[in-house]
Each structure stands twice: as C-alpha cells, then as structure tokens.
Structure 1
Amino acid sequence: MKIRAILAGALLLGCSIFELLGATPIERSVSPSGQFVIYGGDAAWRGAVSALAERTKANLLAVLQRRDQWGAAIVVNLQSPAADLPQIPATALRFSQTGSGLKLQLDLTISRKMDFGAMERELLRAILLEMIYRNQPGIASGATYVEPPNWLIEGLLALAPNCDRTSLTNALAVPGRITPLDELLWERPELLDSAGRLLYRAYSFALVQLLIERADGHAHLGRYIDNLSFTSNDPLADLQAVFPQLAGNDQKIWKSK
C-alpha cells in the first residue's frame, strides 16, 4: 500500500504539532530511548504512551534480532476529543520529508474509551515507517511513500510476548478453505467483518511466524522491511525475492503451516 507524503508546513485538520511549537509552549515527555517525543495530555498519559511505544519497539527488535538504531524521532501528539469535530479519527499518522530530514507525527485522540490495541498498531506502523526510510534522506517532498503492509503489522503484533493468541490459534484450527498466500497479501482488513478480521489476524500471525522460522528468517524479515520502499505491484514476488524458498513452493509451504 502506498501513501502520499504530507508536505511540511501544510495546514491539516487539527494543527500540526510542528506549527504549534512556534506559537504555544506545550508540555512534553521524551521516551527512554529518545525516539518518541510526546506532547499534550498530562504526565500520566505521556508516561503510558511512552511505555507502550518503547515496548512496541522492543518487541519488533526482538523479532528481527536487531539493536536499536533509530534515526528519526517520532512525535506523538496527544489530543482530547473535540465535541464539534466528532469525525476526526482517533489516530492519524503524518509522514513528510523536509530539508532537515524525515518527519513522523502520530496524532492520538485520548479518552477513557481509548482503544489501546489501535494505539499500539499505529505506533508500530510509525516505527516500521521510520525503519523503512531511515537511510533514504534524499527523497523529495510530495513523493509517494510505501506503507508497511497490514499483514506484517498484524503478524508482528500477534507475536508480541503479551499477546493472547488463543483466539488466533482457534481460528486457524477451524476446518475450511485456506486463503491463498497471494490473496492474503492483497487483502484489506478494514473491509472485513469482525470474523473476517480475526481470521486475517490469525493468517498474518501464521505468515510472520512461518517467515522467521525459515533459515536466517529473522534477518531476512529485517531485510524485507528495509527494502519495502522499493517494492513492486506484486507483493508475492517481493516476498519471494527475500525468501527465495517460497518461490514455486509458496502454496505448499503456506498450506503446511
């Protein structure tokens, strides 16, 4: 999936934190690794988001068996729900390339009804996006950027140590048609009903687990992420390029999983 870069300084719905910084001082917290700079909310909210962001990154690095080598900070802007603007999404990720480097901002609408699963999902999306473009400082503003695929995000979240995978393993155990791998890679979970989304998450978990169980699978998955900005319109071919053992045998290996 590809997303259009947001031009630096553009006025969007809900002012950018980068613009607000020049006008009004806002309390902020910086996460222990220094990568997450969190604005808005109170100290308790900022601390909770900081802990979740660092845990999400640590889980990803554990799967990839990598050290933390982040290059661009991720700004997290906490905002309260606006009664006069109920259509504002609970999460919004903004990504742009400016003369000073990569800019990543995640807007989170916080409340007691906050979906922390959705928050973790968007934090992981931002972390992966920074990883994908970490070594590409020369991309022009307004260029088309590649977003991490949904199956990768869902699979990585399901692999987290704190994730209860009972519902996922139960979904995989139900006999029936197995979704072909190439079909899974194209699927859009936001268009599925609740049962379909559960099965999608289960398949995504199975796929990421299958990939890291291959020879040098952790390193290959990291290489796949690093190369996502160069992907084609054939997600299966892109996956096979990094995991050549899937070439010609993808359905057999997939069904055996």
Structure 2
Amino acid sequence: MDLYVEVDVDNPSSRIVEDWFNGALSTLFSALTEWESSGSGAVTSIASICRADGAETERFTSDRGGWRHLLDELTPIPYSASLVYFSGEVEIGRVKASQISSGTDHVTLSIGLHCGDEALASAEYCAWISESLRDVMKSMNPGFGRVEYGSFSNRTNLDIGLRRKHKDSVVEARDVLRGYAWVTLCPSELAERLGGAGSLSQSGAFHGVYELDSGGVLLQASETVAGYTDDVMDGVFRTLAPVLPPGVPRKSAAHPANRLVAKDASVASRDSP
C-alpha cells in the first residue's frame, strides 16, 4: 500500500471507533465496498477483532459487501479491530483501531490505501483524501495525526529520528507535537501556542489549514503528496518548531525511507523571526 493515515485519540469512546470505521467505509473505501457488493469477486474483504490483550482473534466476513454487523462488535472498544480489502491475494486497503499500552486510555486509528503514483500527484485525489479525513474526524479532538507516503510504522518520523519511546510520545502528544508529514493533525493545545489557525495559514508553510469541529487543526503541507518536497517539509518544520520536541534527529537504518529535517527544533525556534 502507498498511503498511511493515522489518528491518535486519548480517552476514546466506542462511538469514535465506530465513526472511524463507518466514516472510512462511506468515504475512502466507498468504491471498494461497492465493488465487493456487486458480487464480481474482484474485491473481497475480511475483518478481525481481538477483544483483549492475549485473547483469541475472531474473524468475520461481509454481508454482501456490507459491514453493519462489524460496527455492532466495536462496543466495548476491543483491543484491536481491523478490516482488510483484497484484490485477489493483494491487500489494497485496511482500516484499523488498536489500543495503545501507555498506562492511559489511547487508541490509534489508522487507514492504509493502495493508490499508485498517479493518484499521489493528482490534486483532485489528494483533495479528496484531505476532505474525507476531515469528514471522518468531525466528532474527534485528536492528540495527533498524520498522512504520509510509504510509512506504515506506528512511530512518527520524530519518534524514529529522536529515538523516542512510542508510549512517551503518545502520552505527551498535547505537550509536544509528535511529528510532521504531508498532512499533520495538530491538537488544539499546540495550535493555540502557534497562534491558532489564522497564524498558521499566514505562515505560508501550508497549502491548507483547516480547523476541526471538535478542536485542533489539520495542516496540509502541499496540494499533492508528490508535491511534498524537501523544501516544503523544511517550511513545515520551521513553522511547527516551537511545539516540536528538542534534539537533532538521526537517520535510522531500520527506517531508510523516514523523512525529516535533521535540525534541532529548539534551535530553529529560537532562530525564527
């Protein structure tokens, strides 16, 4: 798959997890749902739920392409739940929710999409991704979120570069921004420290700045994923530096595709006008 979407929610409710699956099915996965319901066999899907850490995984099949029965299984919030679409034996889409073992209540909501290079360079397709994500998140006030190309780790670019523990990064998400990407979801607490949506929009670092209904802002760095160049990334880094964790990030042999600016955010923040 090509595109990875992740949203971290603290103190989640079953409704939020259900909204994530339902929203994904009605927006980003609507075409896959229609293809499967046609009965052609070109697209198939399977779901799994693990209700507690260490519990046996239960598997589910669709009802003629429909997944209403899966949504009914998301209360109470399971330890993990996923819905995977296939074309033949090739995975082409995934929706997932999983609890984070952080000592507090956190859930990671994620989506993986197979879309191809042409779609990643399409302004129309990328606008659809951004709009769909905003629609799915109407009821959420996330601690953090991101959309990026080719990265399917639950650790952000700065978690990897600064060797931050995933647990610490999640718990501190409303104190320091966990990372940045083509699309970055910034919680309301940090957006306020950056001057709010108006100031972020005026910075010129983002193609789009969108306030979320339940708090925070969605920051879209460039019109397309393909347009998220190193220069664009540097502008995002400099604008977000005041709320990023300090330290000089390093390359990781285990994550060669990890993209970041190899500068100390605390220094960049002091040097900014």
Normalising to structure 2: TM-score of the pair?
Answer: 0.30
The TM-score normalised by the length of structure 1 is 0.31
